[in-house]
Structure 1
Amino acid sequence: MRRKVYHPDFRSEQEEANHLGAKRLMTCGPHSFNAGTPAVHAFYTQVLNEEERQRLCQNMAGALKGAQLFIQKRMVEQLKTVHADYGNKVQTYLNKYNTEPKKNTVHVYSRPGAIPASSKM
């Protein structure tokens, strides 16, 4: 006999609709678009408001700013296939990030409870 597995963060579609707001779930549903309209384009143009689009573009550019330029350019071209404005806004932020002076930072990672190297000397 198999036991049922309980997933505390599992939500039914109705619970998800109540959690996220019915507009967002229904707008992103699989049957709510014409067959020729990509879902990502519809999400960008119909679901997100202007402020949310701006944050999405900032976040995307922030994630890409550490990548090599050819990767940034390739990704921007992909974003332009979703919506020209999406790609152009991300490119604008990347241009801003790429002209900022690079910081000489060193990242040091340690385990919790580890003894610093300087105290061992």
Structure 2
Amino acid sequence: MNATPPSPIATGLAGRCPRCGEGHLFSGFLTLADTCESCGLDYSFADSGDGPAVLIMFPVGTIVVLLWLLTDALFGFPFIVHILLWFPTTIILSIALLRPFKGVMINLQYKAGARPGGGPGEMEG
């Protein structure tokens, strides 16, 4: 194990354990592993929810709309060509960015000391 904790951004983008930076964070494409196979960290604290998807919508939407407008101004493509270009681009960019964003969010949760929440009405005091 390293003396200094690994960067949550670097380990998140790589899909690695937030504590040791070695073990895998995911057991599937977006399925979180139960524990780190390297240091044994229990990932039950992690709940990224819809955060990564929301954070991806803004840059992907901006990129696709700007490219759509730019290519329309420069080349004047028909509408169907734009659909054929930008629909797959939107899907590909979204899928490509989802796993790294989820990894970063989970690693930042670990660094912030996130723990599983209680049920409704449960308050610590």
Q: Which structure exhibits the higher relative contact order, with contacts defined as CA atoms closer than 8 Å and separated by 6 or more residues? A: 2
TM-score under structure 2 length normalisation: 0.28
Q: Which has the larger radius of gyration?
A: 1
Higher helix proportion, which one?
Answer: 1
